[in-house]
Amino acid sequence: MIGTVAANIIRFIALMLLQVLVLDQLDVANGWMVPYLYILFLLMLPFELPAWAVLLIAAATGLTMDLFASTPGMHMSACVVMAFARKRLLRLMAPREGYEYGMRPTVPRMGLAWFATYASVLILIHHLWLFFVELHRFDSLGATFLRALLSAAFTLALCLLAQFLTSSARERGRA
């Protein structure tokens, strides 16, 4: 239990530092592709975590990002919406025998197709919410949707790369 909490705290700090110090400084395609790798922390939370805990963790994660990005409430609301959708999506995607206790949603444990589906839906929800809240209007609906789609694809690619780089050879062989 303590090892799981410590691992999640380390993952949170590492992803937040990577986001703030490196990824927020990138200008890919003149701002059309904005990677938000910090949400990988929320994607990898254990399955058995209660919904209220996931919502609180998502709010704290988004608030931390808002403090660094000077975007009052935008990331927090997007993370909470994503966490709200996570519980329902996990229920829809659950295997017949259910999820194992203590398991986290990762590529080596759940498989590439399962994780890519799970992550892409949640990342797209997060990005759509974030970009439409940032814009405050719907007059450029197509451009905002395209920006969210491109950013979500870039974020998903980074999430998959991070999963591959941080998993051990033993875990990759099991998947």
pLDDT tens digits for 21-52?
Answer: 999 888 887 778 999 999 999 999 998 899 99
Amino acid letter, residue 94: A
* Residue 130: closest CA among 73, 87, 83, 175: 73
Decide: 127 and 155 in contact? Cβ < 8 Å.
yes
Q: Where are the domains of the chain?
A: 2-174
74: nearest Cα among 129, 9, 5:
129
Which distant-in-sequence residues (6+ apart) come within 8 Å of 93 by Cβ? Answer: 114, 117, 118
Q: Let me know if domain 2-174 sits in CATH 1.10.1760.
A: yes
Which tens digits make up the pLDDT trace of 136-160?
766 788 888 999 999 999 999 999 9
Region 104-121: mean pLDDT is 93
> Taking the model in full, what pTM does it have?
0.90
Q: How far apart are the first and last CA of the chain?
A: 24
φ/ψ (deg, to 5) at 129: -60, -50
- pLDDT, position 119: 97
Q: Cα separation of 115 and 10, whole Å? A: 22
Q: What span, in angstroms and rounded, lies between the C-alpha atoms of 94 and 61?
A: 25
Q: What is the pLDDT of residues 68-87, one digit of tens each?
A: 999 999 999 999 999 999 99
